[in-house]
Chains A and B, each alone.
Chain A
Amino acid sequence: MNITRLLTASTALVATATIASAESHVEMANEMTIVSWGGAYQESQLKAYVEPYQEMHPEVSITWDESSAEAVAKLRAQNEAGNVTWDLVDATAADAMRLCDEGLAMEIDPDEDLAPAPDGTPASEDFGEEMLVSDCFIPQIAYSYTFGYRNDVAEWDGKEPTSVCDVFDTETFPGQRSLEKRPHNNLEWALICDGVPYEEVYDVLETEEGQDRAFAKLDTIKDETIWWSSGADTPQLLADGEVVFGSTYNGRLFSLIVEQDQPVNMMWDTQSYDLDGWIIPEGLDEASLARVKDFLYFATDTQRLADQAKYISYGPARKSSAPLVGEHAELGIDMAPHMPTNPENSKGAFVQNYEWWADYRDDLDAKFQAWLAQ
């Protein structure tokens, strides 16, 4: 190929590329990579959001990537390499806040990018401030960290735990416990059971004495505690009778109790709310962004969020979705009583302060690990 032909060819290429990019203002990409957690949760997203969307838009093909657990680190690496390959990422609220801080996630305008409620309430009000915890975060569900306990422990003489503080009562409720191997929730529960009112927990935890107080309370059960790092640990430990109490995500306990019918009960008291939702990575090209926004508008509307609750016991993030929550898709049981957001369950709920944790994570994690290693 001589130089002239090469030049002509490349000019033609550039010209086509220009035309293509000019058209992309209206065109949407037909491929989308969605990052999620895998397992039952991803399945619920597939059933409630993706399959109905693909029915409307058969030309769209979706690739799943089960990397949400390492989403922050991987997105950062992709961003540094200048090659972001993800279009939409499912992340917890804390991760979304970090991604936003790092400039790795796009800021969104809820009222413009998300559908209003059926009665016309704008999305920002329908979700509410307590859900829209970061400028980049599009909430999907509220889940919670709750305790499950064995209901067949002979040593308990028929007594049943009713409060999270019974976890710290090894006299009345002997046996091993399982807690998460990180400071979140554990320190809050310890302080609450040490007599600190909900609204003062973070003020107390900010001080050196408050932290010592929380660790001292945890010290009382340290010898009886198995520390978990994967969400599947507590259900397994409870099912095997290895522990009598265990904290984990409420959805995991739901499947242990309802779907697998194990002798375990749910304790909703002082459940600690956490949120999960979407973020859009920074740096998408226009066609991909247009597709992602179109999908999100659909997937986060009132009906879709309510539909997801058919498949998994996590509460929809919109207020308007709550009345639409129906029955479990396979078991046919009413899902509302198993939702962390159900009024009956959320009476004693505790809400994590993400902003506070963003500041204190590093410090308290070092202290927590040092405490564990002692």
Chain B
Amino acid sequence: MTDSATTPPSQPMAVLPGGEVTEDGPMLAADGRPLKHSLNRALRREKLRAFLLVSPLLIFILVAFVAPIAEMLFRSVENQIVSETLPRTVVALREDQNLPEEAPGEPVYEALYTDLFIAAEYKSHTRLGSRLNYEQTGLSSLFRGTGRDVGRFDTDIYTDQFIEAEPALEDPVAWSNWMADEEIRAALPQTADVWDAWVKLTVEANEDDPLEEDVEDFVYAALYRDLANGAAPAGFPDVDVSGFETVSIKALFEESDEDWVDPQIWQVIETYSPAYTDGYFLNSIDMMNGPDGDAQMRPDDERIYLKLFWRTMWMSLAITFSCIVLGYPIAYLLSTLPLRSANVLMILVLLPFWTSLLVRTSAWKVLLQQQGVINDTLVWLGIVSDANRLTLINNATGTMIAMTHILLPFMILPLYSVMKTIPPSYMRAAKSMGANDWTAFWRVFFPLSIPGIGAGSILAFILSIGYYITPEIVGGTSGVFISNRIAYHISSSLNWGLAAALGSILLALVLTLYWLYDRIVGIDNVKLGG
């Protein structure tokens, strides 16, 4: 339709509905506009109407399906948590020269002290700890433990010395007046920044009025640093800090946990400080960000995902193939039997659909286990000896058997519906022209049934690639899929970033395979129904 509308008029001369004949000009419609435009406009209106008609469904799909999936997949690169929880530390770390050979200098620890104090009040430090623990074992308890200690750090010596030197510094109201003065703020940048954070924290997390609370120690610590740097703003009490007793915040952290002076810890924090990370994707292909920032393979004893991706792929293909092998004869039988008996058989095919998936999978356990029905029968028949019972479950074999059974109807139904449309007269014609049964089937019937195989294969393959519950129950260790790990990271380890990365890769793999399938077989050759 689109083609015919946009094809330019093949003749320069034409007769219009009005009987008017134009020469060499564009063909005109009754209203005098060029026919091409009119047609386009009508077409556009039609398209718009069609679009409006489908738009409720489209919006629903976008909101309820595409957006949540996109949001979930986005987590695979998202990493704001580090820079949001430790904003000052991240900046200070960027300027630090000590890494990677040794632990960072005092300014980083000063920044960390403020950040961690605030994070501990919001209780967000433990969340950061569990995030970083995915990259470096031990960070979870490091943050939990020091988060508990940080409120009791001995930084009150600054507070005491300041108040002793200038009692007005104890008064939060006076503080808020100073901190409203732009010049003072500019002269005391660290203090102003930390003061704002403290006010925000007091109001938000503690729901107190900052004008009635004691100013926290970390504000005085920041003030000391500003004044020690030589700031002397007008309007602010003139305190000489040169004689002040000082305390090393680095030492306080080391006292809380000596891991804080381990450069490796800081390397991890620095590597994961940007807002976006490739770490989850690297992890999902058994790689990691090495100490020098380059991607490298994980140690041998931690590589699982590539193996699982590969296993998921080949087992899904094998399951699809066994579905074809088992399903094709059944579908053929169904399509050639008289309707009455075909219907009875059809019910048998559909029966598994009406039984709970868990029940069906558990039934396989009873059948397949070593003391199960199949092994018992084989031993009784003397085919296998009692000592060498077959291992049919809790391995890849178990997954293949149970999944083939579960996915079989998805193969049989499209096959059946396509075979139903192949007229029996074709086979008779082939035979009447001298083909034997096999030739007639192979040269006539089988090629016509290929669209059904295509549809069934796509259904069975895509379903099996994301299957979770059956491999979990009967798969043991050698028959589990990548989806089992995704489920584990979603519900047990809470590493949603990694789960999202694994899911993205799986999605990309399926789309690639679909594209390949379209190139090789052609998606037009797929028929789900007559």
Q: Measuring CB to CB, which residues of chain A are less than 8 angstroms from any residue of chain B?
A: 69-70, 72-73, 76, 98, 100-103, 176, 181, 226-227, 229-230, 236-237, 240-242, 355-356, 358-363, 365-367, 369-373
Contacts and interface: CB of A to CB of B under 8 A. Distances in A.
B81 to A, nearest CB: 11
Given A101-B129, A102-B127, A362-B134, A373 B494 contact: no
A227 B476 contact: yes
B230 to A, nearest CB: 41
Interface string B468-507: 0000110011100000010000111111000000000000
Given A73-B494, A101-B127, A360-B137, 6 more contacts: A98-B494, A181-B477, A240-B371, A369-B485, A370-B304, A373-B307
Contacts of B365: 236
A359 B140 contact: yes
Contacts of B493: 361-362, 365
A367 B127 contact: no
B140 A373 contact: no
A367 B300 CA distance: 9
Nearest to B123: A103
Contacts of A176: 370
B101 interface: no
A127 to B, nearest CB: 20
B130 A370 contact: no
A226 B144 CA distance: 36
A370 B301 contact: yes
Interface in B393-437: 394
30 contacts: A72-B492, A73-B490, A100-B126, A102-B127, A102-B494, A103-B122, A103-B123, A181-B477, A226-B394, A227-B477, A229-B473, A230-B473, A236-B365, A240-B369, A240-B371, A240-B372, A241-B371, A242-B370, A358-B140, A358-B144, A359-B133, A359-B140, A362-B493, A367-B302, A369-B304, A370-B301, A370-B302, A371-B301, A373-B304, A373-B307
Interface string B148-183: 000000000000000000000000000000000000
A72 B301 contact: no
B296 interface: no
Nearest to A282: B123
Q: Which 9 A-B pairs have the closest CB atoms?
A: A101-B126, A363-B137, A372-B477, A73-B491, A103-B123, A366-B302, A70-B491, A359-B141, A370-B304
Nearest to A95: B492
Contact of B303 (A76, A181, A370): A370
Contacts of A102: 126-127, 130, 494
B99 interface: no
A322 B235 CA distance: 68
B8 interface: no
B138 interface: yes
B83 interface: no
Contacts, number: 90
A268 B353 CA distance: 44
A38 B477 CA distance: 27
A229 B484 CA distance: 11
Nearest to A236: B365
A243 B116 CA distance: 51
Nearest to A232: B362
Contacts of A237: 369
Contacts of A355: 141, 144
Interface residues of B, number: 41
A229 B485 CA distance: 13
Main SS at interface, chain A = helix
A101 B394 contact: no
B137 A362 contact: yes
Contacts of B307: 373
A73 B494 CA distance: 7
Nearest to B143: A101
Contacts of B369: 237, 240, 242
A226 B495 contact: no
Contacts of B473: 229-230
A176 B371 CA distance: 12
A367 B492 CA distance: 16
Interface in B366-387: 366, 369-372
Nearest to B365: A236
Given A181-B477, A359-B133, A359-B138, A72 B304 contact: no
Contact of B126 (A72, A103, A227, A370): A103
Contacts of A360: 137-138
A73 B486 CA distance: 13
B301 A373 contact: no
B308 interface: yes
Contacts of B134: 362
A367 B472 CA distance: 19
Contacts of B122: 103
A176 to B, nearest CB: 8
Nearest to B141: A359
B124 interface: yes
Nearest to B124: A103
A98 B491 CA distance: 12
Nearest to A222: B477
Contacts of B139: 359
Interface in B22-65: none
A76 to B, nearest CB: 7
A318 B87 CA distance: 44
B353 to A, nearest CB: 24
B394 A227 contact: yes
A170 to B, nearest CB: 15
Interface string B90-127: 00000000000000000000000000000000111011
B301 A76 contact: no
A229 B494 contact: no
Contacts of A366: 302, 304
Interface string B284-310: 000000000000000011111001100
Nearest to B485: A369
A222 to B, nearest CB: 9
A133 to B, nearest CB: 12
A355 B473 CA distance: 30
Interface in B434-486: 472-473, 476-478, 485
B256 to A, nearest CB: 15
A101 B140 contact: yes
Contacts of A70: 491
Nearest to A369: B304
A363 B301 CA distance: 11
A359 B301 contact: no
Nearest to B499: A73
Contacts of A229: 472-473
Contact of A101 (B130, B302, B492): B130
A355 B472 CA distance: 28
A181 B124 CA distance: 31
Contacts of B485: 369
A223 B520 CA distance: 42
Contacts of A363: 137
A12 B484 CA distance: 53
Which of A98, A230, A241, A366 is the most central at the interface, judged by chain B CB atoms within 10 Å of its CB?
A: A366
Nearest to B138: A359
Interface string B204-227: 000000000000000000000000
Nearest to A73: B491
